[in-house]
Structure 1
Amino acid sequence: MHADRIRQLIDTKTKPLGALGQLEDLAVQIALIQQTETPALLHPHVLVFAADHGLAAEGVSAYPSHITHGMVHNFMAGGAAINVFCRQNGLNLLVCDVGVNGSFDTQAGTPGASTLVKYKIRAGSRNMNLEPAMTPDECEAALDAGKTMVNGVRYRNCNVVGFGEMGIGNTSSAALLMHRFTGLPLVDCVGRGTGLDDAGLAHKQAVLRSVADRYADLTDPLAILAAMGGLEIAAMVGGLLQAAEEQMVILIDGFIATAALLVARTINPDLDRFCVFCHESDEAGHRLMLDYLNVQPLLRLRMRLGEGTGCALAYPLLQAAVGMLNEMASMDSLQA
Structure 2
Amino acid sequence: MQKKVGNGILLKIIDEIPPVDKDAGNDIRSYLNTLTKPQGSLGRLEELVIQLGEITGSRFPEVSPPGIIVFAADHGIVSEGVSAYPQEVTSQMVDNFLHGGAAINVLAKQIGAKLEIVDIGVASTIETEGVISRKVRNGTENFLKKDAMSKEEALTAIGAGIEISEQFIDDGVKYLILGEMGIGNTTSSSAILAALSQVDIHEVVDAGAGISAEQMIHKQRIIKQAIFNRNPNPEDPLDVLVKVGGLEIAGKVGAILGAAIHRKPVLIDGFISTVAALLAYKLSPHVKDYMIIGHQSEERGHKLALDMLQMKPILNLNLRLGEGTGAALAFPILESSTKILKEMATFSSAGVAGAKQPSE
Q: 1:333 aligns with which of 332, 346, 349?
A: 349
Q: Which residue of 2 aligns with 1:179?
A: 194
Does the residue aligned with 1:285 lie in a helix, a strand or coil?
Answer: helix
Task: Note if 1:39 corresponds to 2:61.
Answer: yes
Distance 1:19 1:244 in 2: 30
Deviation, 1:197, is 1.1
The equivalent residue for 1:18 is 40
Aligned: 1:211 with 2:232: no
Which residue number corresponds to residue 6 of structure 1? 28
Alignment of 1:22-101 (within 5 A): 22-101=44-123
Which among 317, 321, 325 is matched to residue 333 of structure 2?
Answer: 317
Alignment of 1:226-245 (within 5 A): 226-245=242-261
Q: Please point out which of 114, 133, 153 is paired with 2:148.
A: 133
Q: Are residues 43 and 334 of structure 1, via their aligned partners in 2, closer, same or farther at CA, if it must alter by over 3 Å?
A: closer
One-letter amino acid matched to 1:299: L
Aligned-pair identity in percent equals 39
Shift of 1:184: 2.8
Shift, 1:106, TM fit: 4.4
Query: Gaps spanning 5+ residues in structure 1: where?
Result: 108-114
- State the alpha-carbon separation in 1 of the partners of residues 132 and 81 from structure 2: 29
Q: Is the 8 A contact 1:46 1:311 kept in 2?
A: no
Matched with 1:250 is 266
The residue that corresponds to 1:225 in the other structure is: 241
Aligned to 1:112: none
1:215–1:224 contact (8 Å) kept in structure 2? no
Match of 2:138 among 114, 120, 123: 123
- Within 2, Cα distance between the matches of 1:179 and 1:17? 42
Can you list the C-alpha shifts for 1:39-75, whole angstroms capped at 9, x where unaligned? 1124310100000000000011111111101000000
Q: What is the CA RMSD across the aligned residues, in angstroms?
A: 1.3
Q: Structure 1, residues 139-180: CA drift from partner, whole Å, max 9, x if none?
A: 111111111111111111222101110000000111111122
Matched residues in 1 for 2:199 and 2:221: separation? 16
Conserved 8 A contact 1:136-1:226:
yes
Quote how far apart the aligned CAs of 1:335 are. Answer: 2.8
Q: Which runs of 4+ in 1 moved over 4 A?
A: none
- The reply to whether residue 284 of structure 1 matches residue 284 of structure 2 is no
Gaps of 5+ in 2: 1-22, 353-360
CA deviations 1:253-282 (Å, max 9, x no partner) are 000000011111111111111111000011
Q: Equivalents in 1 of 2:232, 2:211: separation in Å?
A: 30
Aligned length: 329
Corresponding residue number in structure 1 for 2:127: 105
Amino acid across the alignment from 2:267: L
The 8 Å contact of residues 281 and 304 in structure 1, kept in 2 or not, is answered as yes
State the distance in 1 between where 2:241 and 2:259 align: 19
Q: Secondary structure of 2:300's match? A: coil
Whole-angstrom CA distance in 1 between matches of 2:284 and 2:263 = 13
Superposed CA deviations along residues 92-120 of structure 1, whole A, max 9, x for unmatched, are 1011001112222242xxxxxxx410011
Per the alignment, in what secondary structure is the counterpart of residue 266 of structure 2? strand
Q: TM-score, normalised by structure 1?
A: 0.95
Note the C-alpha offset of 1:212.
1.1
TM-score between the two structures when normalised by the length of structure 2? 0.89
Give the counterpart letter for 2:249 in structure 1.
I
**What is the alpha-carbon distance in structure 2 between the residues aligned to residue 244 and residue 330 of structure 1?**
32
Q: 2: distance between equivalents of 1:333 and 1:183?
A: 55
Aligned residue type for 1:48: V
Look up the equivalent residue of 1:311 and give its one-letter code. Answer: A
Q: After TM superposition, give the deviation of residue 186 of structure 1 in Å.
A: 1.9
- Aligned residue identity for 1:271: V
Task: Measure, in 1, the Cα distance between the counterparts of 2:180 and 2:309.
Answer: 21
Secondary structure of 1:133 counterpart: coil
CA contact (8 A) 1:133 1:226 kept: yes
How has the CA–CA distance of structure 1 residues 2 and 183 changed in structure 2, closer, same or farther, with 3 Å as cutoff?
A: farther
Which residue, 297, 301, 319 being the options, matches 1:303? 319
Matched residue type, 2:67: H
Contact 1:164 1:309 in 2 (8 A): yes
Q: Distance in 2 between matches of 1:233 and 1:326?
A: 36
Are the counterparts in 1 of residues 162 and 255 from structure 2 also a CA contact under 8 Å?
A: yes
Query: What is aligned with 2:17?
Result: none
Contact 2:121 2:135 in 1 (8 A): yes
